[in-house]
Amino acid sequence: MMRMTISKTLKVKTILIKNKSKTKYTKPKPKMMKTKIFSLLLMCFVITAYAQKKEIRNAEDAVEDKNFSEAKSLLKEVESTYTNEKEKWQSRYLLTKGKAYLANGLGSSFEDLKTAADAFQKAVDLGEDVDDAKKGLEEVRAALVNNAVEDQKKQKNLIAANKLYRAYELGKQDTLYLYYAASSAVNAQEYDLALEYYKKLLDLDYDGSQVLYQATNVETGVVETFGNKTLRDASVKSGSHKDPIDNKTPSKAGEIAKNVSLIYIEQDKPEKAIAAMKRAKAENPDDVALMQAEADLYYNMGNMEKYNEVMSFIAKKNPNDPVVFYNLGVSAEKLKDFDKAKKMYLKAIELDPEMANAYNNVASIILAKDRKITEEMNKLGMSPADTKKYDKLKAEKIDILKEAIPYLKKTIELDSSNINAMKYLKSIYYQTQDNEKAQEMDKLIKEKESQQN
């Protein structure tokens, strides 16, 4: 049995050797395998690249047809792989993405506008189609500003501030948008954000003044403002306009310093408010707007003596400004210096005869004397001495009332809605025995009150 087993084993082995000798195994060459794999990869790459380009072309067509939602969907298909393309196609992708998210501009969401801006900026950085990309950025800026204006109309001041700040970031040479962003933040009562923006403006030495290029229209005689000096000069040269003049608008530095100070006051930080004002004044010591802002700061802090001091200095620098003298009158009145207050109001009237509030305040100061006399009269008894004193005070009272009449009449003439002035005047007419005028005034009061209701 052992021999048979050995024999079978040898037989099988012999067959295996025989078969092996008949079928030769040849190992593939390494180079040939690499070539086939590379060809397959290349084919896949070509197919993928073709598909990507097709998606980008289709997205471009969708944008052209104003089908922005479809364009966004198509672009998302190649969002993770578009950078594998040549720069030309990368640029086409980015420009199309910018246009798709910009859409119609005014109706676009803030997030979409930010996405559009990022896409256009990447296209600029890429260096291809730079002019188109920059044009896209300008369109995004315009959309951000227009949307912010609409938000402000709806009292959505915080989102308006964010949009205006983004518009500023897209072109930092135009600091006006940063200024508007700060103002919107104030209106939203987001004081920390407003301070952040205002501090940026102060660090940039923002002035905010502009040069207006103006000339008089020969035909209408109206002074017109041109977009730039070249246009204005060309119109003058053509003969349609004359008398060219460059007018510089007032600096906004004072307003900014004032707002920063007011925010600090609102936050109960008076020391910071004063420090902010001092910094602004150090950089612009002769800026009257800043001086006025400083005066307003002390006014809001309740420091009327300091307010009066600063306003007096302003008056010396602006001897022909009626508003300055009016404000000096207000501060003097608060300090109980009524003679000075009256003098300041009269000076304001001299400089601006149409200032209704100044006339009204003069009348108020005069009538304050009447109230004191009336109180004194009411304390008197019926003795001969008191009766004599009463008659004397009554005569003084009538003189005071008559002194107030022309100022009240002028107040009503300049401000026909001032019903309080009318009521005072009616009362004076009755007290001075001018019943006919009192009745006329009573009729006028009823007419005005019915109009208001």
Check pLDDT > 50 for residue 47. Answer: no
Contact between 353 and 326 under an 8 Å Cβ cutoff? The reply is no
For the stretch 281-315, pLDDT in tens is 877 787 777 788 888 888 888 888 888 888 888 88
Span 383-433, pLDDT tens digits: 999 899 999 999 999 999 999 999 999 999 999 999 999 999 999 999 999
Residues 6+ apart with CB under 8 A from 201: 175, 178, 179, 182, 256
Compute the mean pLDDT over every residue in the chain, rounded to the nearest whole number: 84
Overall fold of domain 50-205: 1.25.40
Judge: domain 303-452, CATH 1.20.1250.20. Answer: no
Same fold for the domain at 50-205 and the one at 303-452? yes
Q: Residue 45 — pLDDT band, cuts 50, 70, 90?
A: very low
Placement of tokens 């803030």 in the chain: 110
Q: Write the single-letter amino acid at 163.
A: K
Digit-coded pLDDT (tens) for 180-208: 999 999 999 999 999 999 999 988 888 88
Residue-wise pLDDT for 322-368, tens only, equals: 998 998 898 888 888 899 999 999 999 999 999 999 999 999 999 99
pTM comes to 0.58
- Residues paired with 214 in a beta bridge: 225, 245
DSSP run (H or E) holding 33: helix 30-64
Mean pLDDT score, 63-81 = 82
Domain boundaries, the chain: 50-205, 213-248, 259-302, 303-452
Quick count: other Cβ atoms within 10 Å of Cβ 173? 5
Contact at 8 Å (CB) between 132 and 95?
yes
pLDDT at 51: 61
Q: In the 8-state DSSP scheme, what is residue 223? A: E
Q: What secondary structure letter does DSSP report for 284?
A: -
Give residue 6's pLDDT: 32
Q: Which of 167, 170, 133, 132 is nearest to 147 (CA)?
A: 167
Q: What is the largest CA-CA distance in the chain?
A: 171
pLDDT 10s digits, 206-228: 888 888 999 999 999 999 999 88
Within a 13 Å sphere around the CA of 12, how many CA atoms are in the beta-carbon half? 5
Q: For 207-224, what is the HEC assignment?
A: CCCCEEEEEEECCCCCEE
Residue 436 has pLDDT above 90, yes or no: yes
What tokens does 125 get? Answer: 């950085």
Rounded mean pLDDT of 255-269? 85
336: left (phi over 0), alpha (psi -120 to 50) or beta: left
Would you state the structure tokens that stand for residue 375, as one six-digit string? 């109180």
Taking residues 18-28, report their average pLDDT: 48
Phi-psi domain of 29 (left: phi exceeds 0; alpha: psi -120 through 50; beta: other): beta
pLDDT attached to residue 251: 80
